[in-house]
């Protein structure tokens, strides 16, 4: 099964050489995601729920 690196348009560039995610067929794997605002580079939200929503929006 082919691996496809995910690099969403408009998403902040990770500070290290990693992709935002890897797609393998119908599986999307993500790890080490941060609730970063792609415009300001700052962390979004103060609760787990708020930060989780931002992480998923970034992916």
Structure-block tokens of residue 41 = 């580079």
In this predicted structure, the answer to whether residue 16 has a pLDDT above a threshold of 80 is no
Rounded (5°) CA angle 39-45-6: 50
Residue 34 has a pLDDT of 86
Domain ranges (residues) in the chain? 3-58
Share of the chain above pLDDT 90, in %: 37
pLDDT tier for residue 24 given thresholds of 50, 70 and 90? very high
In this predicted structure, the answer to whether residue 38 has a pLDDT above a threshold of 80 is yes
CATH topology of domain 3-58: 60s Ribosomal Protein L30; Chain: A; (3.30.1330)
Residue 46 has a pLDDT of 95
Cβ proximity of 19 and 5 under 8 Å: yes
pLDDT digits (tens, 9 = 90+) for 28-37: 888 778 898 9
């Amino acid at each position: 099964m082919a691996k496809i690196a995910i690099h969403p348009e408009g998403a902040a560039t990770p500070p290290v050489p990693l992709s935002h995610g890897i797609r393998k067929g119908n599986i999307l794997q993500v790890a080490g995601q941060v609730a970063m605002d792609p415009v300001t580079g700052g962390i979004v939200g103060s609760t787990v729920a708020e930060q989780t929503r931002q992480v998923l929006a970034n992916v």
